[in-house]
Amino acid sequence: MARQFTAEEHLAGLTLTVRPINDPEKPVDAEDFLHAATRWLASLSSFAIDSGLDVRWEIAELKRSSAVLEVIPVDSTTGIIATSIASGWKTVVRQIEETGMAPDSLNPSTIREIEQFTSEANKLSMSITAGHDSISQHITVSTQKRMKEAVAALPNEEYVQEGTVRGSLAVLNSWNQDERWFRLRIPIAPEKQVRCSYSDESLISALGDTFERLVDVTGLMHYKKSEVWPYLVHVRSVRKVGSFSLDSFLQNLKPFNLPPGHDSVSYIRSMRDAE
């Protein structure tokens, strides 16, 4: 049974309203709404982390007819409503909209997540209501412009290069032809998952065959300077890695004739010491 929130608890919520940009009276396309809502929640979650809070987002209201989604941040440990996030997030969006600059307290990834959300207004009419502020804030062309300025002002903390990364395919999303991606789990760092985007439709069946198996992913790697693994890969190719068999390995070993006067130990030492 869904949790029932009080009127006071609703004041800590954030509400996203999405409508078609050309005809606001018509129902919005479900996929467009879900895509915008996903971007929105990603930006909220990133902002919550920047605020030092570990929260989960509980749905307080979802209206299909007008595509309205209200979520309330709840502390993951205590279950207490996190009242500061709603007003704080909307204040940050307004600040960026007015100045084109984000506060120093925000992580660059959060600024980028907010910009990605506002970019959805290219094809949708979107507005936000947050906290005690009942006035809706519309995502406009000016909002988008200022968000892009804030992203452009960020220090260069990333670099891009061609490369290959090995891991196991953890999540596969191929339903949206405009944004196909999968997640790659790194074996040596199981908690690390790399987002891999691709446009080649021929990869869909190949990826399905490799689910949860080791693959080598080659493409354009996006790295953060402080991290070992890429956080994003624009995929060019995927190669299945065969399972290791000790018996096969031993069978494929070929004998090696040692030079006169050497046993295996002395020969390895001579190679090591370049004698």
pLDDT digits (tens, 9 = 90+) for 124-157: 899 998 877 778 889 999 999 999 999 888 877 7
pLDDT at 256: 66
- Stated pTM of the model: 0.56
Residues 6+ apart with CB under 8 A from 242: none
Q: Residues of the chain with pLDDT > 70: what percent?
A: 84
Q: Calculate the CA 192 to chain-centre distance.
A: 12
- What is the tens place of the pLDDT at every residue in 156-207? 777 788 889 888 887 776 566 667 888 888 888 877 888 888 888 777 776 7
pLDDT at 126: 92
Q: What is the mean pLDDT of residues 107-132?
A: 87
pLDDT at 145: 92
- What is the tens place of the pLDDT at every residue in 20-58? 888 777 888 888 888 899 999 999 998 988 888 888 898
Q: Tokens 């502390």 map to which residue?
A: 75
| Closest to 141 measured CA to CA, from 120, 156, 160, 162 | 120
Question: Cα–Cα distance between 116 and 110 in angstroms, integer?
Answer: 10
- Looking at residue 14, its amino acid is L
Q: Which two tokens stand for residue 121?
A: 């207004």
pLDDT at 25: 77
pLDDT at 40: 92
Q: For 158-242, CATH number?
A: 2.40.50.140
- What is the tens place of the pLDDT at every residue in 209-255? 666 678 888 999 988 877 888 888 999 888 887 655 556 555 666 66
- What is the tens place of the pLDDT at every residue in 60-105? 888 766 688 889 999 888 888 988 888 888 888 888 988 888 888 8
Confidence at 1, pLDDT banded by 50, 70, 90: very low
Kindly report the average pLDDT of the chain as a whole number. Answer: 82
CATH 2.40.50.140 residue ranges for the chain: 158-242
- Burial pattern 126-141, b for ≥16 Cβ within 10 A else e, equals bbbbbbeeeeebebee
